[in-house]
Amino acid sequence: MLSIEKYQEEFLSFLEDYTVVKEPKGLYNPIQYILSLGGKRLRPVLTLMTADIFGGNYKDALNAALSVEVFHNFSLVHDDIMDDAPLRRGEATVHEKWDINTGILSGDAMLIMAYQLFENYNAEAFQALAKLFSKTAIEVCEGQQYDVDFETRIDVTIPEYLKMIEYKTSVLVAAAMKMGAIVAGATDKDQNSIYEFGRNLGIAFQLQDDYLDAFGDPKSFGKQVGGDIIENKKTYLYLKALEFSSVQEQERLENLYTLETDKNEEKIFVVKELFKSTGAAEATKQAVKDYTNKAFSVLESLDVSEERKQLLKDFGTGLMSRTV
């Protein structure tokens, strides 16, 4: 087993070899650009680590790990177009640096390239990987649509929100881990268990992200704290605040989320105070712990050593105690 940093190094080296300049440059340069912008590389690292945990060679999982990362970045390119986002990881988004048509076409090519990477595996592994990938890809699209729908709905429920973040975020984390297990030749039972581990950890990760967006340290968080509040996003924090609020507090919060204002700092302050006073902030932190513990409980059924289970627990614990 390697350290997380070593898996990252190995993956980045493989990624560098993959992102060679091709013709036509108008199609491939934007792909190389988005893949070089950095990020946590969380998902491909999980693929490599999982392959190792189930007794495989992590190097055999590099193509699957790259497929996950290419797909993830494809989804970001198209998400940025839908959101009209000017920046991604502090740099211009693909459609801003080039144009919308380039973003659409280069994104389409990335989706196809993600599938092509499975051709490096034997027929049995290829079929299992492609089947999982197709299921995951359509769920990510469904999650994105739910997210879009929620922007104009005032009756979003907590179960609906949890389903949205499961599809939009956590299924790709789960699939990344299951791909490592597939490449390593793990049993179906272990493949399904590690998928459930990743799914629950992915939900906890997104809930933690919701919390940090409101209460994170601006210096370490890497983006504007309160961005979700400014954009009136109905996060877990917001929905819990509504659930716990008095009628008067509900009306105030709903008004704040429909109010057009340029006084963003004031709005962020008032909403955060409501999140704290209603108990929504603490409830969100508790939900992060609950989903993390759900993930850890799945590990008991894995047919691997206690030492390797502990590695997964340590990874999950580190992820949930992050400040970025």
Write down the pLDDT at residue 154.
Answer: 86
User: In this structure, what token pair is assigned to residue 226?
Assistant: 């309160």
For residue 168, give the H/E element and its range: none
Mean pLDDT calculated for residue range 88-104: 95
159 to each of 64, 156, 243, how far by Cα in Å?
A: 31, 9, 13
pLDDT over 70 at 47, yes or no: yes
5-14, 36-45, 121-130: which range is least confident on average? 36-45
pLDDT over 60 at 221, yes or no: no
CA distance 163 to 160: 5
Q: At what angle do helices 100-116 and 123-150 cross, to 10 degrees?
A: 150
User: In this structure, what token pair is assigned to residue 52?
Assistant: 């190792």
Mean pLDDT calculated for residue range 59-85: 96
CA distance 195 to 172: 10
**What average pLDDT does the structure give for the chain?**
94
- In the chain, % of residues over pLDDT 70: 97
Write down the pLDDT at residue 39.
Answer: 84
Please write down the HEC assignment for all residues of 6-55: HHHHHHHHHHHHHCCCCCCHHHHHHHHHHHCCCCCCHHHHHHHHHHHHCC
272-307 pLDDT tens trace: 999 999 999 999 999 999 999 999 999 999 999 999
For residue 311, give the H/E element and its range: helix 306-320
32-41 pLDDT tens trace: 999 999 888 9
97 to each of 73, 103, 110, 132, 302, how far by Cα in Å?
A: 16, 9, 17, 33, 46
User: In this structure, what token pair is assigned to residue 168?
Assistant: 């939009």
CB 110 within 8 A of CB 87: no
Mean pLDDT calculated for residue range 140-165: 94
- Whether pTM > 0.85 for this model: the answer is yes
What percent of the residues of the chain are helix, what percent strand, and what percent coil, each to the nearest 5? Answer: 75, 0, 20
- The residues near 223 (Cβ < 8 Å, ≥ 6 apart) are none
Greater confidence (173 vs 324) lies with 173
- The residues near 124 (Cβ < 8 Å, ≥ 6 apart) are none
Mean pLDDT calculated for residue range 212-225: 76
CA distance 104 to 98: 11
pLDDT over 60 at 12, yes or no: yes
CA distance 239 to 254: 10
